[in-house]
Amino acid sequence: MSPGPAASSEQARALDLAAERQGVPSAMLMAVAGFQVARLASRLLAEMSKPSPAVAVLVGKGNNGADALVAARHLAAWGTLVRCLVLGAPLSETAVDLSRAAAAAGAQLRQGVPRGGEWLAAADWALGEASLVVDGLLGTGAKGAPRGDMAALIARVNRSSASVLAIDLPSGLDCDSGAAQGECVRADHTLMLGVAKRGCTVVEAGPWVGRPWVADIGIPGSCYLELGLELPSPMGPDPA
């Protein structure tokens, strides 16, 4: 499948805003996005020859983190052992609600605050038995190289033997240039939501992106036409 023209970070934001003007708010997009992440994660687990029993879901503060929490809820409801590391404090109202829903479905959650050892110990708990890591740490709006504990967490992900599924783009990769300016998640698969992201399509980003996928998240077709972007397949996730 050809994903059509890839979007810059500005176009990706404009696409979300256009959807909102058409009566599809971010909460609706988030619900479909998380479901699509869970669908692909479940498919990848099924293709593993000897998967260990756990999925680690790493949850950042932005929309990527919200998508990751929705995915965690679905995966847990489908019987997967899910361990979520939810970063930051205080949590937004949306993150609190999504965390409660994921926990009610059976996901195990720990909240990590950037305080060195405590945070990284929680990361080791999440990653320890995982056969798949869902990277929902940094989204399309992140700029510059990850620093401090975030960089240390990304390094831990890259040292893990688990397969990695990145949401929208690997954490640490620039959405527009595809450059990795510091620590960057080395994903085996990257699921771009709604539209392909420009930085994930450049040749130089290949070692970080892994296999690229695109999934429809319910953005009205008129929004794509407005921005000169091609609609994704409604049957996805599909390889890009």
Give the pLDDT mean for 190-206: 95
Average pLDDT, the chain: 91
- pLDDT band at residue 2 using 50, 70 and 90 as cut-offs: very low
b/e string for 187-207 if b means 16 or more Cβ within 10 A?
bebbbbbbbbbbbbbbeebee
Residue 73 neighbours by CB under 8 Å, 6+ apart: 34, 38, 98, 101, 102, 104, 105, 107
Among the ranges given (33-42, 193-202, 224-233), the one the predictor scored with the smallest mean pLDDT = 224-233
- Cα gap 217→207, rounded to integer Å: 26
Give the pLDDT mean for 184-195: 96
Among the ranges given (51-55, 78-82, 168-172), the one the predictor scored with the smallest mean pLDDT = 51-55
Domain ranges of the chain: 9-239
Helix axes 26-47, 9-21, angle to 10 degrees: 120
State pTM to two decimals.
Answer: 0.94
Compute and round to an integer the Cα radius of gyration of the chain: 16
The per-residue pLDDT for 230 is 84
Q: Percentage of residues in the chain with pLDDT exceeding 70?
A: 94
pLDDT tens by residue, 129-166 = 899 999 999 988 888 889 888 898 999 999 999 999 99
- pLDDT band at residue 4 using 50, 70 and 90 as cut-offs: low
The per-residue pLDDT for 225 is 93
pLDDT tens by residue, 83-103 = 999 987 778 899 999 999 999
The per-residue pLDDT for 142 is 86
Whether the CB-CB separation of 156 and 120 falls below 8 Å is answered with yes
Does residue 114 register a pLDDT over 70?
no
Whether the CB-CB separation of 132 and 82 falls below 8 Å is answered with no
pLDDT tens by residue, 20-30 = 999 999 999 99
Q: Which CATH architecture has domain 9-239?
A: 3-Layer(aba) Sandwich (3.40)
* 3-class DSSP assignment, residue 236: coil
Does residue 176 register a pLDDT over 70?
yes
The per-residue pLDDT for 116 is 57
Among the ranges given (19-23, 43-47, 62-66, 110-114), the one the predictor scored with the smallest mean pLDDT = 110-114
* 3-class DSSP assignment, residue 30: helix
The per-residue pLDDT for 1 is 33
- pLDDT band at residue 239 using 50, 70 and 90 as cut-offs: confident
